[in-house]
Amino acid sequence: MNDVIVVKCGGSTLQQLSDQFFLSMKQLKEQTMTPVIVHGGGPEINALLEKLEVESEFVNGLRKTTSEVLEVVEMVLTGKVNKFLVTKLQLAGVTSLGLSGCDGALLKSVAINQEELGFVGEVIGVDDHFLEKLLSINVVPVIAPVGLGDEGTHFNINADTAAAAIADSLSAQKMVFVTDVDGIMKGNELQKVVSVSEIEEMIDDGTIYGGMIPKVKGAIKCLQGNIEEVFIINGKADNLMCNGELVGTKIVKTKEAVLSYE
């Protein structure tokens, strides 16, 4: 099997993804990479909750998920958002299959804290054999982060957490965070390759600020196990590939690794 690259699409960028983004998934497949896509859907969930007048709140950054909220989460993630992505990939010539973590018991999950968060879960197991079967027949999985617990309980899983668990299980070497910015900027210059320590320095001196801080911190968390590179790319851009490489910021573990790319 080709090298696996896990692509996490944030909910806030889904409707803004360019046609080039979907074509770039085809380009990756035509090279040596096998993409697996994991997506969120926060803004769409918020809109439907408001429309249906279902109350929702966040606790420590996670959406408290009652049984009512869970119904809406599943409708949006496994229905509208998942099939939107699958359709766009198909139009770009990429054979894809929409799944939730419940399908094939793909994401085995348990509650994080049922009393405080309701049906919010964490992943305790990934059926990588199931995913590898799909990848072996040239199908790109598009995964909604809804997990399956004992006795058939469903859980709302943070998309970053789900993507990291899947990447670890498949021994992925690369992860991509699809956002609405070009990457890490220093002045007006895009930083093409940076290390973890350089990112920490840029946070301290204010070069990285605001909404970019959680993005880079999420990326850093993924630099463990087999994952050697994490990319931050702009899903709205018209040109996502250059000379076979993704255009954006590549984050690596050490400064020595940065030097190897120069």
Confirm if 37 and 95 have CB atoms less than 8 A apart: no
Q: β-pairing, 185-186 with 189-190? A: antiparallel
Residue 219 burial (CB count, 10 A): 25
- The dihedral of CA 247, 31, 177, 94: what is its sign? positive
For residues 236 and 21, what is the distance between their CA atoms, to the nearest angstrom? Answer: 7
Beta bridge partners of 233: 178
Q: Which residue is listed with tokens 């998942």?
A: 82
Q: β-pairing, 33-39 with 3-9? A: parallel
The helix/strand/coil state of 232 is strand
235 is in an annotated binding site: no
In the chain, alpha helices (H): 19-30, 42-51, 67-74, 82-91, 114-117, 128-136, 159-169, 196-204, 212-221, 255-261
Query: Tokens representing 227?
Result: 């994952």
Confirm if 65 and 156 have CB atoms less than 8 A apart: yes
244 is in an annotated binding site: no
Beta bridge partners of 110: 122
60 is in an annotated binding site: no
183 is in an annotated binding site: no
Binding site members for substrate: 41-42, 63, 156
State the binding site. 41-42, 63, 156
